Structure 1
Amino acid sequence: MGMEMPEPRLDVSKHRLDELKECKGRLSRQIGEAKQSDSNADRLIDELKQVSDEIKQLQKLLKQQLNETRSAKKWAPGTIEKPPAIANKITSGAITVRSCADDDISAVEAYLAEHPAASVWHLPAVSRFIKDTCGHRARYFCAFDETHNLVGVLPLVQLNSRLFGNFLVAMPYFNYGGVLADNREVTLKLISHADQWRREVNASHLELRFCQDNALGLPQKTDKVVFWLPLPDNVDDLWDSFQPKVRAQIRRGQREMTELSIGGPELLDEFYRVFAVNMRDLGTPVYGKDFFANLLQALEGQAWLVVARINGRAVGCAFLTGYKGRMEIPWASTLRRYNHTSINMSMYWKVLEFAVQQGFDVFDFGRCSQDAGTYRFKQQWGAQPLKLYWDYVLPDGEKLPALNPDNPKFRLMIAVWQRLPVMLTNLLGPHIVKRLP
């Protein structure tokens, strides 16, 4: 590899500066000699002043050129294009849809590996995890063409309770999970079969969680966003891309944080202690410990736990997943009484380091509302907000569901929950939260 050549105008500026410095030195000696011989040095002094002024101007210009060169070469996160959930491929003959059989699993996994919009939550292993851990009914619809090639999938889960209602979601608990298909015809076939199941179980609606607007003509919610950050090849470029304020907060957290571990089930107890307290403080029912234990097992090799400690005490935690070049952080928590330490900033930085070192191309900061404080937290890392499009299949005349914490009827419940002992919320929470999408 040859030596990298400097920018032409930068090279010229440096050459001229060297000439002027030599001239300044020569004039200074001549002025000294003139004074020693009592000769008039006024002309030389005027010439020296002119040279000195030109040196200052050139040094200023050179500094500006150097900054421009560094800025041009500095890595910065680029724009991310959303991968299409519905392709524009031609399929062969009539499309048939049926529930995925055990013999179809390998074909489904191969299809997901090739589909650009597939997420880890589309994996059949996740549907089995929800069914086995939460006790919900789940169906994994597969679409085939007449040559028996798989051309589309739709994982679907039924949530049914007296408190929150009866409905279908693709996929609950997670940000992604709508239809993946080779074309629009396949998509409509899959949705039609899903709606038929909705009617069979008398569910109020079907929710499809997309990351893009697929123009299906369905009612939508678009009030949530996710943040994706493109990752460079090395952590130094990522560090240099941050604003000075972000770097300062990370350094502050690093002074406080004495240890951070990234691993598996061996960290579950510490992870859950922090997570459960934080969920209680937020007024949100907590998943059971078995939820995370079983999810780690279902996603073996594609999921990690993170625990941040101060003086041996776990004060921060996170759950990570990795699939097809994208690392996602679906859950993260820190204990509120340690917020002043900026421990969350140093923990996120270590997680981003880990993502780069593992070779991921994108880091997914997860979901939030556009006016939430977490929106600004995620944005400060240089991540790009991507609007989520959640489509709904509803009976005629029905309104969009309003099952969210901002609904006034849940505010009192949240306020009461925040005052309950953690031991009690850990006991009650898993029975409630598994009914929430």
Structure 2
Amino acid sequence: MQLESVSNPHEELESRLSFLQEENKRLGRLVDKARESTAPAEDLLGELQRNIKEIKALKKRVKQNQNKSIEKSWSPPKISVPQAILNQSVTEPLEVKVASHKHSLPIDQYVAGHPAGSIWHSPAVTSFIGATCKHQIRYFLAIDKRDQVVGVLPVTQMNSYLFGNFMVSVPYFNYGGVLADNRDVARKLIQAADCWRAEMQSKHMELRHFGDSGLGLRQRTHKVTFWLPLPTNPRDLWDSFRPKLRAQIRRGQRESIEFSIGGAEFLDEFYRVFAINMRDLGTPVYGRPFFRNLLDSLGNNVWLVIGRMDGKAVTCAFLTGFGDRMEIPWASSLRRVSQTGANMAMYWRILEFAMEQGFRYFDFGRCSPESGTYKFKRQWGAQELSMHWDYVLPEGGELPALNPDNPKFKMVIEVWRRLPVWITRLIGPKIVKSLP
């Protein structure tokens, strides 16, 4: 859907204003070149002055229209953070056990019915992590007297020479901590997982919760995510955007970018763009088999998005869907198109797709406050939500410092940015599988 094709006088004004501002920049450069070469610049100056006059008039009309339309027909509603630990009664006695293959269906049903359940709680995901990255996995579940699942906690051990021995509820992804019917169930699950942590001599266990679990564990809230409520009509979302955001999207759409949304058939294009972008960011890249296996594991709940200019992929995204929420764990674009608005146009196409699929929320993924990605996500009008990561530590244990903001990693990141892409694709997967 190309909303800019719908007749709307206000949008036509904004589109014309955006075009003139870009044209002014071009004319200004031409005038500077003409002056440097002592060539006549009167005609260029005249056109530039006419543009400036029209821009002033358009800005005044746009502002008047904005004042008339302060009352919007739709605006994103306040989001209620889903709680991982509920307040429900459970039929005693409880039994905590390590799940086997036969428990996959009841676990999936429990996760699907839990308000804080995510696709990353699925046994298919933990099986993927174990098979692809060769980590030790245990999926703990709590069962009541009626043999009903009343809580789950997937745990992965990550043990490497570079980064040490520790555990994460579900590494690589944003969610996957404990889900439980009540606090007692949650504590028994964590206690069982902590016994395994001690047995494996891991330094800590990180539980990635969305909201505050209230368990009294040591905690970090150093990451945030952005959730955007979605209306049923894309026009309502479009109208809720600020004029500057709409202009940025239109700029990308004027580049005649072709978008495709599908599955594994786009993996080669996705991985090429993703690998280049990760190198430019100074981040080790996952291997191609990582994404191939994840696509297979998630089935119909995953999509790849490719944006092409002149037939060549320049932007890409990896999408997942679960319940009423679509999430974007990874997105990339090539630096050479960073000024074209291609990435903005891709995100708008993705939001359209999410609404077409009937999702009620779009999750922009985690980031660090005030980072570049933080500012990018905030501009879409999404609600900022703090992530709460709890830590289970041995007595006297310290919180881990394994994150890219740690100063000791700064030099490594700068070196990585200068490596050829083929080298990063060769050695990156061996490193990144040990990073949570």
Question: Normalized against structure 2, the TM-score is what?
Answer: 0.84
Residue 185 in 1 paired to residue 184 in 2? yes
Residue 118 in 1 paired to residue 108 in 2? no
Matches within 5 A, 1:60-139: 71-72=70-71, 74-139=73-138
Distance 1:227 1:110 in 2: 27
C-alpha change, 1:270 and 1:146, in structure 2 (3 Å) is: same
Matches within 5 A, 1:217-296: 217-296=216-295
Contact 2:151 2:179 survives alignment (8 Å): yes
Distance 2:111 2:258 in 1: 37
Distance 2:253 2:66 in 1: 31
Amino acid at match of 1:266: E
SS at match of 1:130: helix
Offset, 1:320? 0.1
Amino acid at match of 2:354: A
> What is aligned with 2:324?
325
Question: Normalized against structure 1, the TM-score is what?
Answer: 0.84
> What is aligned with 1:418?
417
Amino acid at match of 1:285: P
Contact 2:112 2:118 survives alignment (8 Å): no
Distance 1:71 1:193 in 2: 55
Offset, 1:257? 3.8
Distance 1:298 1:372 in 2: 32
| Greater shift in the superposed pair: 140-149 or 226-235 | 140-149
SS at match of 1:367: coil
Distance 1:177 1:77 in 2: 26
Residue 384 in 1 paired to residue 370 in 2? no
Contact 1:257 1:308 survives alignment (8 Å): no
| Deviation readout 1:198-237 (Å, 9 max, x if unpaired) | 0010000000000111111111110100000000001111
Distance 1:102 1:269 in 2: 32
Contact 1:307 1:314 survives alignment (8 Å): yes
> What is aligned with 1:29?
none
Choose 1 or 2 for highest CA Rg.
1
Distance 2:359 2:77 in 1: 15
Contact 2:285 2:432 survives alignment (8 Å): yes
Amino acid at match of 2:294: L
| Deviation readout 1:342-370 (Å, 9 max, x if unpaired) | 11100000000000000000000000011
C-alpha change, 1:418 and 1:73, in structure 2 (3 Å) is: closer
Distance 1:257 1:376 in 2: 26
Amino acid at match of 1:124: P
Distance 2:152 2:76 in 1: 32
SS at match of 1:315: strand
Contact 1:83 1:116 survives alignment (8 Å): yes
Distance 2:222 2:111 in 1: 27
Contact 1:257 1:346 survives alignment (8 Å): no
Distance 1:149 1:314 in 2: 48
Offset, 1:258? 2.6
* Structure 2 gap segments, 5+ residues each: 1-63
Distance 1:428 1:350 in 2: 33
C-alpha change, 1:73 and 1:335, in structure 2 (3 Å) is: closer
Contact 1:257 1:343 survives alignment (8 Å): no
Matches within 5 A, 1:386-401: 386-401=385-400
| Cα RMSD for the two superposed structures | 1.4
Offset, 1:430? 0.3
